[in-house]
Structure 1
Amino acid sequence: MANQHAENHDKIDFCTLGMFIIDEIEFPPPKPTVKDIVGGAGSYSALGARIFSPPPQSESVGWIVDCGSDFPPELRDFIAQWRTGVLVRETPERLTTRGWNGYTGENEHRDHESLIGTDLLWSKSFHLICSPLRCIDLIENIIALRKQGSSSTDVRRPVFIWEPVPDLCTPAEYENCLKALKYVDVVSPNHGELGGFFGRNTDGKEFVDFRTIEKLCSQWLDSGVGDGNGGVVVRCGKDGCLVMRRGLRKWMPAYHQSAEKVADPTGGGNSFLGGLAVGLLRGGSLCAPENLEEAAIWGTISASFAIEQIGMPVLSQSGDGETWNGVGVQDRLSDFKQRLASYVQP
């Protein structure tokens, strides 16, 4: 394997190990069922990174799509339109993984062996959605595979963003969680998942319990995230997110402040993390964890596009470049930063 992909070590900025799912969404009558919708944690996190990666940078967004014998041709065209560094694997012996009634595959994960012999192994960042022990296993194996595949003795460590799998955010997993935190650069649960590890309720009457969330994040940071300079980003839905690392504690609002703007929150958190990942790499001249505040802004913008409709936002070309749902990404980013300038911390 040595040197096999040496010339492509800088090709991929982001790789998610989340799943691609074809969703079917059923609504109460008389609204008809919507079928063959691109979904899954991997698809949405790839979307989040892709939103900030217009061509040719779009090719730096890595994800994996397994196409079963029933894979719809129109979805192949849809995926190709994004012009990403997607790894499409033909699996004609089986059907494509499908979800139903809101299931998005968030509890699924990719094996590190999916990366062997691909450019994705050399990604600068990885999005992992899994249990604490699975997180450790994946990181150890990815690093080992990179060392095996390089002739250099100095193999660059990628940035690891961990999204804990909801089912195992429990007090019984707390000690394993603390172990996993040492391996990652950023951990990002939603507020319910954060509270789950501590056996605490983080919901308030009208808003999330801001002070409890801050306290729990501080405990994680005190125990050590990454090399001690890692960060925690807690996603709180309509109440925005909390960004914390050593020397930084900041709340950011959600981009959409009206429920009327949100058609379907499915995939919003995954998209947030795709935007956050590329923001860590490109959001400033500093090393990844120190870009955390800017990265969370990018994540907020990515999530805003993901939740405006059922399924994926519409990508179009205009004279000024790309638009998503008819809006330029940089325009929305500038608008949000202007709002942040006058935002009062809760």
Structure 2
Amino acid sequence: MTERRHLVTLGMFIIDEFAYLDEDGNPTSRTVPPQIGGGGTYALLGARIWLRPHQVGMIVDRGHDFPEDIQKALESFGKEMWLYRDDPTRETTRAINEYKGDFRGFRYLNPKLRLTPRDLWNTVYEQPANVHFICSPTRAIAIVYEIQATAGWTPTTIYEPIPDRCVPEELPALRSILQFISVLSPNAEEALSMLSINAPPTRSLVEHACQQFLDMGVGPGGTGAVIIRSGSMGAFVSTRAKGGRWIPAFWGPEDAEHVVDVTGAGNAFLGGLSAGLLLAQNDIYRATLYAAVSASFIIEQEGMPRLKTQSNDSGSLTELWNDDEPQRRLNKLLLDTQAEQS
């Protein structure tokens, strides 16, 4: 039997297309080729920054139109990360991102294929240690119940509610599954919206929202964590046992020149968190440092970060992401965090 994966995501693979509109809604001359997309894809890359390809996994539904350049790009991060399901009768799931000034619209161009834990059965991805999913709280009920019904599988569940379903009407569904969620992580706007708090995010409001979710009983016996991702403010991490703590973003408010495109940063954050839970022996606060570093590599460019290897002084190979070492960023962020808390 093959070694089980540390992290498998149930997020979808999507080919992203782009349209840039002027103030009147007409197309501009700016063009961007189709790119790798999907929250699951970004989450897996966030974990891959820290882990080896054989430790993570994702199912990719590959239609008859799957581009060769995207296939090569995916496999440049490691072939073992991807389990392809081919269907020559359908197109690969595609979505269009429409930009009009600061407004970003998103819609699917063809039917999407959702994944559930059942799709992992009898594959090399069966029963991973961590499972990540992105969906509405209502749909999360079915995912959680499939996990619970799988004998002998008690994974760490990392759940991020899908943005357009972070509404007060979904709160009852969320309450019904929180006892089965190890880590709940909306972003700040999503958290406040779900709790009917109609105000711009501030640190105090984020902390208040985090406590409200904890009081609902996250994790078995209330042992879970809530992490509210708050952009350049950082992330607020809280558990009932150890309380709350702010973890700074690697690129903070003073680093705007490094922020090119935040698409996928939250997803990558949670993949990095999963890797951090392994590397930091389940210390949720230290794990969040890994998460922040993963997000930092995503926002520096449009699309995926660049990966290359180089030989170090000992002759072994070191992986560089965007020409930088993740460990260097982690060490810097740790020092920044210690300075902020002292």
TM bin, normalised by shorter chain, reads 0.7 to 0.9
TM-score, normalised to structure 1, is 0.86
How far off is 1:11 after superposition? 2.4
- Partner residue in 1 for 2:166: 169
Deviates more, 1:71-80 or 1:108-117: 108-117
Query: Counterparts of 1:1-346 in structure 2 under 5 Å?
Result: 7-8=1-2, 10-27=3-20, 32-53=30-51, 57-83=52-78, 84-101=80-97, 103=106, 109-145=114-150, 147=151, 155-203=152-200, 208-227=201-220, 228-246=222-240, 247-257=242-252, 258-284=255-281, 288=282, 291-320=283-312, 321-343=318-340
* SS in structure 2 at match of 1:82: coil
* SS in structure 1 at match of 2:154: coil
Distance in structure 2 (CA, Å) of the matches to 1:35 and 1:68: 18
Change (3 A) 1:69 1:336: same
Distance in structure 2 (CA, Å) of the matches to 1:88 and 1:108: 13
Report if aligned partners of 1:20, 1:41 keep a CA contact under 8 Å in 2: yes
Q: Stretches of 4+ moved more than 4 A in 1?
A: 28-31
Distance in structure 1 (CA, Å) of the matches to 2:135 and 2:33: 27
Report if aligned partners of 1:121, 1:142 keep a CA contact under 8 Å in 2: no
Partner deviation per Cα, 1:117-156 (whole Å, 9 max, x = no partner) = 11222210011111223222212213424x2xxxxxxx24
- Partner residue in 2 for 1:150: none
Distance in structure 1 (CA, Å) of the matches to 2:199 and 2:188: 6
TM-score, normalised to structure 2, is 0.87
Distance in structure 1 (CA, Å) of the matches to 2:262 and 2:81: 26
How far off is 1:25 after superposition? 2.4
Distance in structure 2 (CA, Å) of the matches to 1:339 and 1:319: 29
Larger relative contact order (CA 8 Å, sep ≥ 6): 1
Structure 1 gaps of 5+ residues are 1-6, 148-154
Report if aligned partners of 1:133, 1:180 keep a CA contact under 8 Å in 2: no
* SS in structure 1 at match of 2:125: helix
Identity percentage of aligned residues: 37
Distance in structure 2 (CA, Å) of the matches to 1:137 and 1:121: 17
Task: Looking at secondary structure, tell me which structure has more strand per residue.
Answer: 2
Report if aligned partners of 1:242, 1:250 keep a CA contact under 8 Å in 2: yes
Aligned pair count? 317
What is the RMSD of the two structures over their aligned residues, measured on CA atoms? 2.0
Structure 2 gaps of 5+ residues are 22-26, 99-105, 313-317
Distance in structure 1 (CA, Å) of the matches to 2:165 and 2:233: 24
